[in-house]
Structure 1
Amino acid sequence: MLAAVDDPCTAPPRNPGVGEYHATRWAFDGSSRKCVPFEYRGMKGNSNNFLTRENCEKRCPVFQNPCKIGEPHIVNNQYLQCSPQQVCPGGHYCHIGSEANYCCKALGGDPCGQPLDRGVGGSQLSRWYWNQQSQCCLPFSYCGQKGTQNNFLTKQDCDRTCYELDNPCALGDPQMAQNNRPLQCSTSSNTCGSQFWCHFGANQDTTVCCPGRVESPQICQQPMVAGSGGASLPRWYYNASTMQCVQFNYQGRMGNQNNFLSQQACEQTCPVYVNVCPTGSPLLDTSTNKPVPCTFGSNSCGGDHWCHLGLVPDEYQCCPGSPANPGACQGLPSADGVLGAPAPPTSRWYYDQTDMQCKQFTYNGRRGNQNNFLTQEDCAATCDVFTNPCNQPIPLPATMCSGTGASDTCGANMWCHIGATQDSTVCCPSEGDPCMLPLARGTGNQFMDRFYYNQQTGTCQQFTYSGLHGNQNNFLSQQACEEQCGPNPCFEGRPFVGADGRTQTCSASANFNTCPLNHWCHIGSDLSTTVCCPGASTNVCNLPMSTGEGNANLDRFYYDQQSKTCRPFVYNGLKGNQNNFISLRACQLSCQPLDNPCIGQPATTAAGQVLFCSITNKDSCPVNFWCHIGDTPETTVCCPGATNPCSVPLAPGTGNSGLARYYYNPDDRQCLPFQYNGKRGNQNNFENQAECERTCPGNLQ
């Protein structure tokens, strides 16, 4: 019989009892906190006696091994506990669990190189591990058991164990960021403090803010330092003796600020003497050993040098060569030069000897030739050029024209500029309607009597033309001016002028618009005032009635919005608007809403106008349409659904017209009278009995 004990787990383990019985049982060993087997004899044992290991482990507080490999280190038959401050024996480390800490066998190798292992168990412990890829400590949740050594209580512990400062600075430690890492920088983002400068290493880790910053003048006085390390980085340093930026190989660490990523960066920081001449060296000032500055046209370079015009004042240098004009104007093409100046390429002028013209080109800034001028005026003053009398550039050679002023000798979009000489009487680009252009007296030293059209007074007036750079509002005589710029019938602006320079006339047809986009056809008293006016309205029927100006008495019609009808009025001939029609029908077609008499939509023109017909011209309707004869011209239109009129039934229609008509009755085979209401009938509808019998003769008795 087993002795009664309150807690079997605290009873002495391995009590065999007495008897002849031999059975394997399990007991809880409190010293090792394990369930161990023993042989039980059947009687006189105690309560620390379990049939199976599982029963034992369920009942008693069995030790949970937290170690990844093996069991914790044992001393005096006890698992060795530890703390973060207590060192475990060799080959072991202190595993910090949720309740207890034990010395576990080390996995070997660098703990920081071990992978993240969240372990097993039911705990959620905040820990940190070293991430090899990002080279930083990151947080994770540890389950409490079976983890690796890459497991730290705090980020500081992780950083202290795993992070290695890679210091490329020569004068101390780099500036540290908030994450206790070196503060990184770049060419586009200089985040360094006032006492630090951006060291550009072989990689991002060594591109950091280093101490010992100096300003630009001192940077340029620092010696070249190749540094240390295994890198070979192409860099530039400023040589204070030669005043040049020179390339060198930087080893990646321990350099100084006289270390630039590019020649341009070096030259932007330190003063450099640059030779911009295409051949030879510039004239030097012996007192400063710097190039002598010069200005164009001042003979500041002496007799054997010419002034190179750079993109910045420092590159206006005296280059070897004759300064005489032929050197700039004869035999030298444009020279784009080479890049490198501290300014973007710019437009310059050169002399084209073939065309005898000054032309533009883009100069890169250095090593160009003498055929290089800041302005067209400088080029023209130096070289023998053809003077363009036009107000705009023209293709060369220029097209000569006659002195009669006839524009058609020049072609489309051109006009004949009549100057003081044959050389200045050439075809110039048109600038639009001559009568709309302002007075342009031009330039030059001529005194030529001409006429121009004054828009404000509406008259042609005399002026004195200087001979060059005028515009097309320039006539040899008052008669020529008045022929071109007669009375303006348009309410707004001037009539449209065609490519031939003449005012374009138009057609009064309602079916199509002969004027260009945004213009409308003004129908005047004669052809000269029937022109295309600007400012076409999208809804002419909404415009008010306008009698206009002038002394004509033209019978016209306009659409009255209030009465919704077309009404007559007398038009004075000029300055009216689009609500102006030459006939009642034209007004009705454009403005009055259609009183549709058809079953379906009537036929229309390509311009969208309804096709009307008449009793005398029924055959004018297109295919599949027939002429519906209503009680008014507005309801006499081409309706859809043409068929045999003798085969359709009687259709009195709708409306209240009460028209006497005839229809063919197929039952009686007779043409009989009926009253047509005026709308929505069919083709079995005749004006008289004779027409009915003529149309359906084969069906009559």
Structure 2
Amino acid sequence: MLFSYSGCGGNKNNFQTYEECEAKCIISKVVNENPCEQPREEGLCSAVIHKWFYDKTARECRSFVYSGCAGNSNNFETREECEQQCVAETSALSACEQPQDSGPCKASFQRYFYNPFSAQCEMFLYGGCEGNQNNFKTKKECDENCTIQSIRPPNPCELPVEVGPCKATLTRYYYNRASKRCETFSYGGCRGNKNNFETKAECKKQCGKDNAPTGDGCNAPKDPGTCTKNLYLWYFDRESLVCKPFIYGGCGGNANRYVTKEECERRCVAPLPARAICSLPNAVGSCRRSLSRFYYDFEAKACRSFTYTGCEGNANNFRTEAECFAKCSSVQ
């Protein structure tokens, strides 16, 4: 702000021009420069102000001491403000997906990065500071983290639909495992996954019957597969005759996996003969809730009440006595 100086005394917060004041004291706001990409800068003054900056090498927000003037835009009042600006936009990329980045420093350290175009780990010279996580000290470390994923990519037909974080509305097709059909969705225009086809014909060619899981899924054991995705699916447990959740890795495995509990029960529980369910022993489960339920006592040929703990147990578990009787009264 402009003020009238008397000509003597005062302090150093005194500049002859507006430009000189701004250059010395205002945090630089470079047009179109992403603050999350800028290095940490303490500034030129001598104050001790606790602020936060985004460390793009560690991919997290960290505290630092800001001197009170100059610096850059990678300077946030709170950790929450920093994370809202920077963490959300970078967390979707794994180390293997990030571009090769030597950093701004001038050292020459031999490192390795994963090149998605060649599907190989390649050598590069790292400058010694900043950069990103696609930076491994040895080729072995790079291979172990990245190339195994590229050798065994997940089947796109088994991935859930993902519209992506952008705001476009592009008509695309994805394979719906529940309906076993190629269906339309609105794609946002960036990221997402490979269950994304420009035409229905392309989707059907990739995800037709030849690509569907084979074999009797209900009789197969639980199999998480060989990849490292974390997909929350359901499988049929032959011992308890109920559908249970499990984490599927995204590729490999067998046909005993279902997108929803309802789909699993429709395919595996509904066709079971009543005797298979009604002859199971009473199982209270392993949790701590107290739910009133009924089970069929096969020896006494009667429905009896019991307290269910809320998880595990087996299929001989009915919400009402009438439901139990309807299912099991004819069992001999």
What range describes the TM-score normalised by the shorter chain of this pair? 0.3 to 0.5
Q: Which structure is larger by alpha-carbon Rg, 1 or 2? A: 1
Higher helix share: 2
Q: What is the TM-score with the length of structure 1 in the denominator?
A: 0.21
Q: Which has the higher contact order (CA 8 A, sep 6+)?
A: 2
TM-score w.r.t. the length of structure 2 is 0.39
